[in-house]
Amino acid sequence: MSASTTAMTPPASVNSPVFWERLWRTSGIQFVVFFIIAYVIYGYQPQVGASPDALVAFYTGNRARILIAAVVSGLNVLNLMWFAAALKTTLADAGQDGWAPRRPPPAQRSEGCSSCLFRWAQPSRTRSPAPETTRSQRH
């Protein structure tokens, strides 16, 4: 060993936020990798219009492969949801979350045509219903 030793940083413990943030960021890559693995395990299924015997042979002969691929795919959905939540959190921390810009406060908002449409669409409570006439009243 040499006299000069470099200080190595210890790996992040499971209880530290750094560990979980690293997992959050890699969950998108993990999703893609496990999706490919599940696709390869599942294999090729018979084409549309295949005979019923070919379908039965595929599903009975490859039952274990299909179940393993289904479990891997089901658990892989958790990776996708974790990545989506991490992406939303990262964007929220940067102040860029949401689909559209935030609405201004009511004092700065112009109540233009949209408020007129909403008032028009609501039923009026001041009008009384028109009286119905019977056949004997019309003649």
Measure the CA–CA gap between 42 and 62, rounded to whole angstroms: 8
pTM: 0.55
Closest CA to 86 of 31, 24, 26: 24
**pLDDT tens digits along 29-58:** 999 999 999 999 988 888 898 999 998 988
- Contact by Cβ (8 Å): 43, 62: yes
- Contact by Cβ (8 Å): 113, 64: no
- Using CA atoms, how far residue 37 sits from 24, 34, 47, 84, in Å, is 20, 5, 21, 21
**pLDDT tens digits along 60-112:** 888 889 899 999 999 999 999 988 888 888 888 877 766 656 666 666 666 55
Residue with tokens 């004092």: 107
